[in-house]
Structure 1
Amino acid sequence: MSELTWYNLAMTSDTTPVPLVASASNVFSGLSAWKAFNGTMANADDCWLATKSAIPYLQLDFGKQTKVQAFRMKTRLNNEANSPNAFTISGSNDENANFTILHSVTGKNDWVNNTYFNIELSTPVNYRYYRMHMTAFNGTNAYVGIGLFEFGCYPPPPPVNKTLLSKDNKVYSTNIINIWHDTKMTSNTTPAPYVASASSTQSTTYAPWKAFDGVIAPLDNQSSWSATATLRNGWLQLDYGRKVTTNKVEITILEFTTSPKDFQILGSDDNNKWDIILDVKNEVWLQTGSNESKTYNFKKDVSYRYYRINIDTVSTPNKQPMITELKFGYDRKELMEIPSVTVQSFDKYGKFDFANLDLDMDIFTYVLPSTIKEKQLTKKPLSIGFD
């Protein structure tokens, strides 16, 4: 029998690449369904996460009937307590009805961090929709997560229309990551494990969590954090509950008078010793309108549990600091040189669509030949030149 091969889905949203569509019963804190089908698990937020109380399911629509004989999955990175204990995998050609149970699992309490759990069917099936439906869970955590979910078949999946880049007899691909760690908080301690705090607060109307709720409304200061009105400086902080890797921050102000002029972005692992990540002096904001946003890139990637903005002065001397939204993110723009043009290199590193080729790449890497199983193409591959 030929080797079991896995579909390389490489999803970048719930609806890309076309015709794939990822969906779920519910999504917690912006950790969407597609993240279980993106082929990566860079950190604990690179996953699909849902609340257990909703009897959750995770689903992929291939856009057409697709042959599958095996499934493999990983639970959320470093979070075995977020794992399912009992679940079924079903298939259907009708999204809303007639799901056929293909495999059932019960008593699955031995998940291993960053390790695949494999399921292979005795015969292949051919459905458009595949769904993982969970009915029991491990641990007392309120959430369940899947870091990776992949589909395999015999023989190898049919070829997909992927592209590599070519210039001067060399072959390249890109790896572009651009994420924001959205928190969508509803109080200073929800959703767990996030905790928002500040040096002072004008009132509960201007609580610290208001700067992490994802809401931006013109001149709606009730969705902003405010220090006590008599103070002219202060800090605002978020505890992620675990280390989070970042290299950028976006600050959205309410309006000019309360905007931060001199401030630092700080990071800490213990809420005691703080490292300066970014130091900004004499920042200039628009004096008209509201909710201006600015993004600041760090000099390097950092990873901390606690992040804080420390505001020394605001734009108008007789005003207190206010922040409408504060969020941290991570981006990476990598150009990779591919050692050879093979079926496997197209499958592993090819893209359905090369977007953002006008961006300056941060990192250049070379893929070692040993990481690609060689099977030379018998026809000229599709490639495009670039300058």
Structure 2
Amino acid sequence: MVAPVLALAGFMGSGKTSVGRALAESHGYEFVDLDDVVVADAGMSVERMFAERGEREFRQLELAALRRILRRDPTPSTLVLALGGGTPSTAEARELLASGCTTVWLCVDEQVAWERSQGTTRPLAQDRASFRALAKERRAVYASVADWAVDTAGLDIPRIAARLAALLPRPLPNTVTPAEWQAEVRGADCVSHIWGGPGRGGLLTQWSQELWAQGRRAVVLTDTNIVQCRRRELKQLAGLEAIGEHGVVVLPAGETSKTLDSARTCWDTLAKQRVHRDDVLVVVGGGVVGDLGGFVAATYLRGLPLWQIPTSVVAQVDSSVGGKVAVNLDYGKNLVGTFYQPQRVLVDPAYLITLPDAEVRNGLGEVLKYALLMGEGLLEHLE
């Protein structure tokens, strides 16, 4: 689900203000820079405030401004909000963001952030060692509050803004919004129901509530990259207070996890949780997690209901709906596997915004391959 306010978090130099303004202006949204509001309230610059009143008083003014913005009447419905670098550092600020915002963490390399910030009047960017330590400390804070984490490496302001447009809380004015769609893929023993289109991720909340009402559970299988990017959504899907609880199985990201050892870890976890045949394994991730999760679902209790939530381009256009599931052996890839169709597949382009630019390009190369095989119609559509 997308909250009414899109809040941009991140370290100094990550581009929060520039990205937020570009996103809001290009789509007709209101834009607010929280630092500007604090400056107007205090009647002095951030630098002067730090020097004369200290950071503690600045944070108090910042929290009051954030509270006023998010609780104003009427509730803002089309707002892009650029937070200060330290805004999420207090528990109350994190609670406000969790209750009223979709929060995006703009991830920036610490060296890049320093190069952008050194020599400016930023009060917390005057010493290299302190800057590095603060960047490390803040990463944990941003990870705890973010609904999405976007790697900005290699992306300019317009391209970052274009990615974030998928998270805006309503259809963009004066644009054609891609239609939601549904499809079916019929396998030998199962029909896969596929839902696609912008905003379709909101169906996950509905589906999980339906499961709970039936006395069934969703057990989520994902990897460390996805946990960092979508922590809150995973907790909601599994009905948890924290990721460390048993409803979410987290494996290391990458091809090295696609093994029988990882499958055994998943089987053991399902057994310890006393998962039944009518419970659901929800696989959230790219092709590696999708293959492994499908294999686990196919083999545990001779078959668990499987939902695939693909988060890479290739997984969305291919592997999540193909039904081929497998793990690797030392002697080669995909040597142990089967065919097992998911009951449900959810394809939302918003799930692609967290991908590094190179991975998006690689995935689009796969799409182009399909277009070449299918003929001129799809090629023209892609152009």
TM score, norm. by length of structure 1: 0.27
**Larger-gyration structure (1/2):** 1
- Greater helix share, 1 or 2? 2
Larger % of strand: which? 1
